[in-house]
């Protein structure tokens, strides 16, 4: 593999590239799903190829190939240089990369059980057992369960001397129970919606989630929602569970801090950002309790945004994004870092596969837990009147990531510090900075979870990547509640 990469770099350099790197990527993925007692889908796929990225005449060029021969590498490198020279005719300025010393390294996701050593038959048997538990509850009309496993082995070689080999594992598991009654559908998901929980781990994640043990409780809640009261409308204090807060972080903090969006370099998918450069170090993003970091290091946890090095060889880093409520950082690359006066990249450039050009992507964007001991039940006890909302059902946010509306699967009314009646169709809306400035309580580390979002889309052609979001249940004061499902 290294010989192939070095040959591509040599060809690119001879043809005039001032910088070049090659990423060789071997990927394997398994995706299994059941639906009402039957296998809904099953796939086990592999791919192997490489991408060559170059700078020539001050512009980027990129080409990819599955041809692992010397001739294939030569053709891909030549094509990348040709594209760079064509791009140079319309460039606004020469590409300048923030300095980064070359590195030689090996890195592998910490894991206990290689998920691909577990048979497909064993995987499907587990899914069908979950399915039986869900459909054992009267009133459940549709049960869906899924398991997903990925392994990515990558070699990164650059003309600056980097030589990095990484192997990343990830696992995902979850299920949904649907109850249809009249003209209404109610849904409950576990342990989260959008495929459940995903982390950079091996098969051990599946055992940790206690999927079978929680199935009946989740199904019973889906049925009970049909008899629950409609979530009221008005201004309320709300408590969001950690999974819902993870998606809130993703949409109203994670995307707007992507520096390529801010600079107008990437607006093809879901727009740009309200976080213009003049706001760095000046904007009061949230209350003083809000501390958010972008952290790709293993020490932060096994998030889908955890790695050893990004796709241009920059080590994983921790970047303060919001510090005591003040906006303090963006997600950056070697190319974009100089725009904010940074002396090096934030290490966030990643690509979906070998045939895609790396772009700025979220790592683990996390709200740090509260410093004082506080459980969810204690937070409820400290809330006189409000609504607890759990598990995302729907979301909407504008192209600059400023105005939003979220719906959740289930809610509970809080009266005089006690959890009261169940509420169906809870929703809330707001403006990003007003919302985060209304935060006044965060549960402590024991209630903090690092959630995985496996399906974050960006770019054109679209790239789907995994990100992580750590959060603990939190309270927000005076939030607009209830308008999303008023007709239901």
DSSP 57-91: TTEEEEEEES--SHHHHHHHHHHHHHHHHHHGGG-
315 and 367 in a single domain? The answer is yes
Last residue of a domain, one of 197, 227, 257: 227
Contacting residues for 180 by C-beta, under 8 A, at least 6 apart: 141, 142
Where among 209, 227, 245 does a domain terminate? 227
Q: Does 78 lie in the same domain as 61?
A: yes
* Mean pLDDT on 97-122: 97
Checking if the pLDDT of 268 tops 80, the result is no
**Both 194 and 280 in a single domain?**
no
The owner of tokens 């052609």 is 461
Beta bridge partners of 295: 318
Residue 16 belongs to a domain: yes
Per-residue pLDDT band at 484 (split at 50, 70, 90): low
Residues 186 and 234 in one domain: no
Same domain as 249, residue 206: no
Burial tier of 101 (Cβ tally within 10 Å: 0-12, 13-18, 19+): exposed
8 A C-beta contact, residue 95 and residue 338: no
Nearest residue to 470 (alpha-carbon basis) of 383, 337, 363, 397 = 363
pLDDT band at 80 (very low <50, low <70, confident <90, very high): very high
Question: Is residue 488 one of the residues assigned to a domain?
Answer: no
User: Do 204 and 239 sit in the same domain of this protein?
Assistant: no
Q: Please indicate, yes or no, whether residues 257 and 203 belong to a single structural domain of this protein.
A: no
Q: pLDDT tens across 427-459, in order?
A: 999 999 999 999 999 999 999 999 999 999 999
At residue 333, φ and ψ (nearest 5 deg) are: -125, 180
The answer on 257 and 136 residing in a single domain is no
Same-domain check for residues 366 and 218: no
240 class by beta-carbon count within 10 Å (0-12 exposed, 13-18 middle, 19+ buried): buried
Give me the pLDDT at residue 128, please.
98
pLDDT at 341 over 50: yes
What pLDDT, on a 0 to 100 scale, did the predictor assign at position 255?
96
pLDDT (tens digit, 9 = 90+) per residue, 45-64?
A: 999 999 999 999 999 999 99
pLDDT of residue 327: 98
Q: How do residues 7-28 score in pLDDT, each as one tens digit?
A: 999 999 999 999 999 999 999 9
Q: Which residues of 286-300 are buried (b: 16+ CB within 10 A; e: fewer)?
A: bbebbbbbbbbbbeb
402 shares its domain with 326: yes
Both tokens assigned to 80: 């990348």
pLDDT at 485: 64
Q: How far from the centroid of its chain's Cα atoms is residue 394's Cα?
A: 16
pLDDT tens figures, 411-433:
999 999 999 999 999 999 999 99
| b/e burial code for range 388-422 (CB count within 10 A of at least 16 → b) | bbbbbbebebeebbbebbbbbbbbbbbeeeebeeb
pLDDT at 266 over 90: no
Cβ–Cβ < 8 Å for 5, 157? yes
> What is the token pair recorded at 339?
């725009």
Residue 472 CA, chain-centre distance (Å), reads 17
The CATH number linked to 79 is 3.30.2290.10
Residue 267's pLDDT is what? 83
Give me the residue label for tokens 């509420």. Answer: 423
- In-domain check, residue 487: no
pLDDT at 488 over 70: no
Residues 290 and 237: their CA atoms lie apart, in Å, by 17
Looking only at Cα atoms, what is the longest distance across the chain? 74
Domain count, the chain: 2
Q: Are 233 and 336 in contact (CB under 8 A)?
A: no
DSSP 344: S
Calculate mean pLDDT across residues 216-244: 97
**Do 238 and 111 fall into the same domain?**
no
Q: Please say which residue of 157, 192, 227 terminates a domain.
A: 227
The answer to whether the beta carbons of residues 177 and 143 sit under 8 Å apart is yes
pTM to 2 decimal places:
0.96
Same domain, 324 and 218: no
Question: What pLDDT, on the 0 to 100 scale, is given for residue 271?
Answer: 83
Question: Which range marks the domain in which residue 319 is found?
Answer: 229-481
CA gap 9, 227 in Å, rounded: 65
Measured CA to CA, the distance from residue 281 to residue 283 in angstroms comes to 6
């Amino acid at each position: 593999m290294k010989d192939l990469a070095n040959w591509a770099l040599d060809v690119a350099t001879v043809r005039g590239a001032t910088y070049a790197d090659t990423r060789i990527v071997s990927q394997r993925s398994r995706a299994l799903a059941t639906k009402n007692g039957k296998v809904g889908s099953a796939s086990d796929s592999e791919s192997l190829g490489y991408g060559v990225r170059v700078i020539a005449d001050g512009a980027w060029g990129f080409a990819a190939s599955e041809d692992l021969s010397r001739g294939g590498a030569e053709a891909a490198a030549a094509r990348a240089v040709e594209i760079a020279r064509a791009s140079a005719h319309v460039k606004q300025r020469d590409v300048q990369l923030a300095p980064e010393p070359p590195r030689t390294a090996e890195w592998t996701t910490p894991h206990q059980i290689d998920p691909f050593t577990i048979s497909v038959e064993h995987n499907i048997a587990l899914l069908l057992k979950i399915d039986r538990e869900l459909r054992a509850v009267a009133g459940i009309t549709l049960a869906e369960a899924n398991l997903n496993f990925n392994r990515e082995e990558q070699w990164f070689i650059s003309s600056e001397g980097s030589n990095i080999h990484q192997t990343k594992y990830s696992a995902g598991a979850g299920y949904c129970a649907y109850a249809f009654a009249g003209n209404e559908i109610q849904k409950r998901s576990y342990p989260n919606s959008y495929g459940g929980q995903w982390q950079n781990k091996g098969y051990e994640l599946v055992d940790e989630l206690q999927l079978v043990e929680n199935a009946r409780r989740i199904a019973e809640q889906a049925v009970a929602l049909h008899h629950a009261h409609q979530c009221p409308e008005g201004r309320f204090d709300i408590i969001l569970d950690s999974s819902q807060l993870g998606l809130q972080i993703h949409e109203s903090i994670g995307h707007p801090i992507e520096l390529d969006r801010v600079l107008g370099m990437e607006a093809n998918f879901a727009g740009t950002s309200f976080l213009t450069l003049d706001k760095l170090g000046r904007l009061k993003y949230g209350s003083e309790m809000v501390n958010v970091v972008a952290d790709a290091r293993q020490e932060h946890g096994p998030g889908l945004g955890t790695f050893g090095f990004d796709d241009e060889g920059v080590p994983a880093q921790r970047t303060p994004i919001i510090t005591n409520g003040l906006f303090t950082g963006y997600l950056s690359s070697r190319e974009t870092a100089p725009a904010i006066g940074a002396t090096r990249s934030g290490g966030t450039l990643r690509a979906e596969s070998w045939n895609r050009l790396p772009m700025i992507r979220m790592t683990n964007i996390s709200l740090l837990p509260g410093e004082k001991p506080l459980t969810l039940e204690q937070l409820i006890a400290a809330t006189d009147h409000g609504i607890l909302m759990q598990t995302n059902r729907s979301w909407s946010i504008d192209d600059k990531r400023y105005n939003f509306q979220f719906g959740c699967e289930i809610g509970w009314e809080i009266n005089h510090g006690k959890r009261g009646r169940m509420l169906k169709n809870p929703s809330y809306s707001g403006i990003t900075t007003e919302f985060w400035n209304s935060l006044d309580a965060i549960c402590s580390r024991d209630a903090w979870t690092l959630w995985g979002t496996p399906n974050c889309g960006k770019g054109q052609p679209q790239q789907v990547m995994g990100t992580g979001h750590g959060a603990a249940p939190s309270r927000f004061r005076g939030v607009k509640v209830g308008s999303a499902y008023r007709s239901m």
